[in-house]
Amino acid sequence: MAANTTEGPTVAPRRKMNILFSLTLILLLLALWVVLGFWTDKFWTPLNITNLMRQGSMTAILALGQTFVIITAGIDLSVGAIVGFCTVIVAWLLHAGFPVWAAILITLMFGVLIGAFHGFGIVRMGLPPFIITLATLTSLRGIGLLITNGATINIVNDDFTNFAVSDVFGIPSLFWMVILVAIPAVIFLHLSRWGRYLFAVGSNREAARLSGVNVNWMIYLAYILSGTCAAFVGVLLASRIAIGNATQADGWELQAIASSVIGGTSLFGAVGSVYGPLIGAFILATINNGANLLNLNSFWQRIITGVLIIVIVYFDQLRRRRL
């Protein structure tokens, strides 16, 4: 009974704060849509809404993978490079005559292997996540350019390239992929013991180990999930642009981190959700889309994103102090 008495005052405020924060994010997103709807007559057109959904979908999946890592108090700076590298892999495989399903599966396996390599570097070699993922970022760009000799690989498989521009029940297929990833993510992170273990590792690694959690395995798992999500986004991006190019998705790792943080994931670890980063990704996509419609300088998009991150992290610190 003592444990319940102690837990109550801590858990209840945290849940209330999380619910309030989520509602705030949704209201912010709706407010952006309303304001942009008044400022430009092009925002609510079907073509623009479809384009917005496609823009935000890939960032959302990337942010979700990043969230698993950040919950463990880690970081993955390589996801943008993985995306670009995987566009090269899937394009090369299709060019070599592999069936679409085989090319996609092999490309996803590269994401798993890269994530496992990150886990090995952190767990076995004792390298900080920042260093090992930064090294992978630069290496994958170089490897991808080496494979293609600095050129691009055109994808002429219509079955593959038509997917990214198709709709299902009037909703872009890329957005359906967000739902496809989000459903098992919710089950894993919020409804399974593995999700609880992930939060425990981010909260206090030593306490989690003493409680019987296989900390090393959970770190491996977090980075494997991040790498797999990035590889999946690489496949989707290749389908959308119909080329493989290692320089694609430059800076997307920052977009993924920003979306996750804006969605309420704490850079200090142990705080995060599935829906938060998804909303955060579409907030960023809306800001970028609105700025383009209003012909604002692209530099302002970066400034607005940076200010938004500062505000969110500041309120995250206030939340931690109150709890």
pLDDT in tens, 102-135: 999 999 999 999 999 999 999 999 999 999 999 9
Q: Is the pLDDT of residue 305 over 80?
A: no
At residue 298, the pLDDT reads 73
* Domain membership flag for residue 316: yes
At residue 322, the pLDDT reads 63
Phi, psi for residue 310 in degrees, rounded to 5: -60, -45
* Domain membership flag for residue 12: no
* Domain membership flag for residue 3: no
Alpha helices in 41-172 (DSSP H): 46-71, 79-95, 100-123, 129-148, 158-161
* Domain membership flag for residue 8: no
Mean pLDDT of the region 134-149: 95
* Domain membership flag for residue 189: yes
User: How many domains in the chain?
Assistant: 1
* Domain membership flag for residue 27: no
- Tens of pLDDT, residues 75-93: 999 999 999 999 999 999 9
- Tens of pLDDT, residues 9-59: 444 555 566 667 778 888 989 999 999 999 988 999 999 999 999 989 999
Domain that holds residue 313: 42-322
At residue 2, the pLDDT reads 37
**Separation in Å, CA 16 to CA 22, 226, 237, 248, 321:** 10, 28, 37, 40, 15
Q: Is the pLDDT of residue 320 over 80?
A: no
At residue 6, the pLDDT reads 34
At residue 121, the pLDDT reads 97
State the Cα–Cα distance between residues 280 and 263, nearest whole angstrom.
Answer: 5
State the Cα–Cα distance between residues 125 and 299, nearest whole angstrom.
Answer: 39
Choose among 298, 288, 293: nearest CA to 56: 288
Q: Say what percent of the chain tops pLDDT 70.
A: 92
State the Cα–Cα distance between residues 180 and 322, nearest whole angstrom.
Answer: 36
Q: Is the pLDDT of residue 297 over 80?
A: no
Neighbours of 199 (CB within 10 A): 18
- Tens of pLDDT, residues 262-295: 888 988 888 889 999 999 999 999 988 998 888 8
Residue with the bigger pLDDT between 238 and 272: it is 238
Among 153-157, 180-184, 303-307, the minimum mean pLDDT is found in 303-307
For the chain, how long is the longest CA-to-CA vector?
A: 66
Mean pLDDT of the region 176-185: 96
* Average confidence score pLDDT of the chain: 90
The end-to-end CA distance of the chain, in Å, is 21
* Domain membership flag for residue 25: no
Assign 315 a pLDDT band (cuts: 50, 70, 90): confident
* Domain membership flag for residue 14: no
Residue with the bigger pLDDT between 219 and 266: it is 219
**CATH number of the domain residue 48 falls in:** 1.10.3470
Assign 304 a pLDDT band (cuts: 50, 70, 90): confident
Q: Is the pLDDT of residue 171 over 60?
A: yes
